[in-house]
Structure 1
Amino acid sequence: MPRHYDPDSMPPIEDTKDSVFPIYLPLQVFDNDEFDCRTPEEWMSLGLEPGSSDRKPVPGKALLPTDDVLGHDDPKSQELIYKWIDVGVLDYDKETDLYLVHKTDEKGLVRDEEGRPIINGGRTPEGRAPLLPCQYWVPRVCLQFLAEDPQVFAERVACADSLRKRTQGLLMYHLYVDCMPTEGLDTINEKSLQRVKRLAVQTPKMKDEKSMLDQISTLEKEVKLDYKHTMNMISFDRVVASKPEMFSFVTLPDKEQKEAPEKGRGHSEAVCFLVFDRIRGLL
């Protein structure tokens, strides 16, 4: 659960084995519903008994705060303790992709404030009443139905958490590279740049493309900037690879294997072609 954090109390890199920075991306964004053996509608239909139109709560466990007052007021508070708690699943919202859960009482029952069983998700002809303190809307990755395989659900949560950490590491990587200075770096060879520009505008599709000719100077600046950015990426990759423990919170992008060209090019010219092709594809 992403929490509020104090930037002044962050531990130094040497004192942590995990990410130096707190997790701020919601876990449900990285959830993979292919782990699910039923659709949301099928899960909710488990609360229906043969011959009855009243849908009862579906048993499950949800990751919820133990303090219901603070849990609703500030769910990201550092003071909150989250645990897997027995719940009854009352309803599903297709628009938000969230499930409404209700904490069970001491007897393991789902009851409203007056001690009456809750059926049909608490909906009445007048609509649904405001949430009780013990009720929460939760994503699927934070809800395990008792009718599903717990090992599969644990793998689902682990995969989502692993993908979230990798994504945050990639975001950190690109942020660092974008913030690296470009002053004083070697610029692209002017002869190579002019050759690439000439070949690019002489292609059949670009010969008569007025917008390309009007923006050629802007594209040249973009190519030069991307060239310096690529040089920074190469330098940063080398540093991160040489000190993996220090940069454990940074994820290096996967390297794409490219076939060698039939005719060789200089390094600066090859980079220039790649950058120009990428920019040209955006027009």
Structure 2
Amino acid sequence: MPRHQEPDTMPTIEDKRDPIFPVYLPLKIFDNEEYDCRTPEEWILLGLEPGSHERKPVPGKALLPTDDVLGHEDPKSQKLIYKWTDVGVLDYDKETKLYLVHKTDENGLVRDEEGRPILNGGVTPEGRAPLLPCQYWVSRVCLLFLAEDPRVFAQRVVSADSLRKKTQALLLYHLYVDCMPTDGLNSISEESLGRMRLLAVHTPNLKEGKRVLDRLCRLEKEVRLDYERAMNKISFDKVVLSKPQTFSYVTLPDKDEEKVPEKGMEHKAEALSSAPGLRF
């Protein structure tokens, strides 16, 4: 959905607020389903009363456009305004993982164009009718069931948004590094490449030939490129860390902490040699 950003209020590089780059990744792909207390099927079955075969809409709130006409024609239009709206959840699609919701009327009821209640997700013996202007397919992260804890749902949305921002920032980081020039960099030494080539060619059951040599040439180019990229990455990280105010819009990847073993190799060898059935 669109984000309305006024040109006069756009954050600058020096600001430590939201990134200056627009968000282009959909929020639903970062949704964590572990926050859910019910399965989609269980949510839909809440509309089925004991002893009844007619399933009613499940009450909830969904983030929907206020203009239903433009909302269906161009859901990403900058002219649209999205608000949390009272809805009745009609159905769920397993393939797309989307919920079908219907906006309630002024009386808080879910009715069709003729004022009749919508039951069983709007599916009749003839099948499902075309979507009404007030009906939408939405993702779970944009749908709050009234039967769930709103605080948990808020944490779910915040978690998805945080992961999306981090992912987009890392994608931009790798783009910066990939776009850095490699001219003038110290390439990997021929001695190191020679050792790699020797180990690769002397692999058992590998016969030398034109096809193998062609592939070795391709692999050598990849190794050179990876080496040069690693050198650029080191230089880029050093510059970003030295000028955090200037590069406040750059997010560096998290460094993996090295795990120090509790015991050294000697203790490990002693433990293996003392194990039953093992002889060295």
TM-score, scaled relative to structure 2: 0.84
Q: Are 1:30 and 2:33 an aligned pair? A: no
Q: How does 1:54-93 map to 2 (within 5 A)?
A: 54-93=54-93
Deviations 1:228-274 (A, max 9, x none): 111111111122223334434433222234589xxxxxxxxxxxxxx
* C-alpha distance in 2 between matches for 1:90 and 1:243: 53
Contact 1:99 1:140 in 2 (8 A): yes
Displacement after TM superposition at 1:200 (Å): 3.7
Q: How does 1:117-156 map to 2 (within 5 A)?
A: 117-156=117-156
Displacement after TM superposition at 1:14 (Å): 3.5
Provide closer, same or farther for how the CA distance between residues 195 and 259 of structure 1 changes in structure 2, counting only shifts above 3 A: farther
- Alignment size in residue pairs: 259
Q: How does 1:1-283 map to 2 (within 5 A)?
A: 1-2=1-2, 12-14=12-14, 17-202=17-202, 204-205=203-204, 207-208=206-207, 212-257=212-257
* C-alpha distance in 2 between matches for 1:106 and 1:246: 52
Uncovered stretches (5+) of structure 2, i.e. residues with no partner: 261-280
Give the aligned residue type for 2:196: V
- Bigger mean CA deviation after superposition, 21-30 or 186-195: 186-195
Give the aligned residue type for 2:150: P
Give the aligned residue type for 1:236: F
Seq. identity, %:
73
Contact 2:11 2:18 in 1 (8 A): no
Provide closer, same or farther for how the CA distance between residues 243 and 132 of structure 1 changes in structure 2, counting only shifts above 3 A: farther
Displacement after TM superposition at 1:68 (Å): 1.1
**SS state of the match for residue 14, structure 2?**
helix
**SS state of the match for residue 235, structure 2?**
helix
* C-alpha distance in 2 between matches for 1:193 and 1:108: 72
* C-alpha distance in 2 between matches for 1:127 and 1:248: 54
Displacement after TM superposition at 1:3 (Å): 5.2
Deviations 1:175-220 (A, max 9, x none): 1111111111111122222233223433x44754766444222222
Provide closer, same or farther for how the CA distance between residues 196 and 165 of structure 1 changes in structure 2, counting only shifts above 3 A: same
- Please, what is the CA RMSD of the aligned residues? 2.6
**SS state of the match for residue 161, structure 2?**
helix
The structure whose Rg is larger is 2
Give the aligned residue type for 2:61: K
**SS state of the match for residue 87, structure 1?**
strand
The corresponding residue for 1:280 is none
Contact 2:31 2:156 in 1 (8 A): yes
Displacement after TM superposition at 1:145 (Å): 0.3
